[in-house]
Structure 1
Amino acid sequence: MKVWILRHGEAQPHARRDAERELTTHGREQVLHSAARLIGQPLDCILVSPYVRAQQTAELVRKALGFTSELITVPWLTPESEPRDAVSKLADSGNVLLVSHQPFVGELISLLLHGHLRQPQPMQTASLVELEGEWPLAGSMTLLSAYHP
């Protein structure tokens, strides 16, 4: 099983609510650079945070890849989500792309690689990490690549 974790692209600094912040032009360009690294990968589904900037990021990736399946919006991919809860939800996802936010993505990667949250993975906007393992269990996955546009 492969898990790709993509942090959303650069977003506007302010909006009425954090969840409503949109991608900047630069953020869209960042996302397209990261999406190019996913071309030809065996992607089964894209799970995405309900926040606007993550939705925009996932839609850009979906279009860039010609991925025909719909995006799957899940409430457990927000910045404040609990990585341990997310791991339990990944078992039936197949090869999956997660589109989410810091600090969640850094902590989730740490949990999948090391089995704990004490070494969060640095993730800039539009950073993409590729993990592989038999199952998405804490401490059971291997880091294959990390891309920071």
Structure 2
Amino acid sequence: MKTLYISRHGEAVNVGAPGVFSDFDRHLSEEGKAKIAKQALGLKQLGARWDKILSSPLVRARQTAELLNAPVGAPLEFCDALGDSPSLANVQKILANMPEKRILLVSHQPFIVHLTAYLLTGRRDVSFHYSTGTMACLQSYQLQDEPKGELAWFMSSEILQNLAEQTSERLNHAQL
């Protein structure tokens, strides 16, 4: 079974912040870094694992991918096709040729909304709300012929962070 995790990057600073001159340069805010790092621990508790990460090369997506990957340590590839104006056709080709069974894709709105909708419904006009850090897990996905996938879960960053907190609280309680 093939599994595709789809993540929107974490909370980022705006153009005009110190050292940020273009959309490409936007980096995660300090709060965004903390949330994604905590989210990674929640994903670990959930049992989420990937064999490879494909990430947009934009700074905020790169940082998100690196933080999410910290507990897993999978190979990480920065893919121009996921950057400024991703094309569904280009990403289809990339994913279709990957031997890995579990892939995490980190990118941007509106592309991830269109990709998720396309895999679940065959249409691109269905909407999903991907706030920063939100992730979807699609199982048994395929991109050739008739695109399809089964939604295993769709969680906000806050829910994933809460999973990490609950685990931490259980461990603290068990040690008492």
**Shared fold (TM-score, shorter chain, > 0.5):** yes
User: Distance in 1 between the 2:140 and 2:82 partners?
Assistant: 21
Secondary structure of the corresponding residue to residue 142 of structure 1: strand
Alignment of 1:96-107 (within 5 A): 96-107=103-114
Structure 1 contact 79–102 (Cα < 8 Å) conserved: no
Secondary structure of the corresponding residue to residue 47 of structure 1: strand
The structure that is helix-richer by fraction is 2
Structure 1 contact 80–103 (Cα < 8 Å) conserved: no
User: Which residue number in structure 2 is paired with residue 22 of structure 1?
Assistant: 27
Cα root mean square deviation, aligned? 1.7
Structure 1 contact 34–127 (Cα < 8 Å) conserved: no
Describe the superposition over 1:30-88 as per-residue Cα deviations: whole angstroms up to 9, x where unpaired. Answer: 2124323432334110111100001111111121x141x43101111124211232122
Task: Please give the TM-score of this superposition, normalised by the length of structure 2.
Answer: 0.76
Alignment of 1:1-149 (within 5 A): 1-14=2-15, 15-39=20-44, 40-63=47-70, 65-67=71-73, 69-91=74-96, 92=98, 93-137=100-144, 139-148=147-156, 149=158
User: Distance in 2 between the 1:147 and 1:5 partners?
Assistant: 11
Runs of 4+ in 1 over 2 A off after TM superposition: 134-139
Structure 1 contact 8–53 (Cα < 8 Å) conserved: yes
Structure 1 contact 79–104 (Cα < 8 Å) conserved: no
* Unmatched 5+ stretches in structure 1: none
* Unmatched 5+ stretches in structure 2: 159-176
Secondary structure of the corresponding residue to residue 38 of structure 1: helix
User: Distance in 2 between the 1:84 and 1:110 partners?
Assistant: 14
Task: Please give the TM-score of this superposition, normalised by the length of structure 1.
Answer: 0.89
Aligned pair count reads 147
Describe the superposition over 1:76-107 as per-residue Cα deviations: whole angstroms up to 9, x where unpaired. Answer: 11242112321222122421000111111111
Structure 1 contact 5–97 (Cα < 8 Å) conserved: yes
Describe the superposition over 1:88-138 as per-residue Cα deviations: whole angstroms up to 9, x where unpaired. Answer: 221224210001111111111111111121113210000011001153445
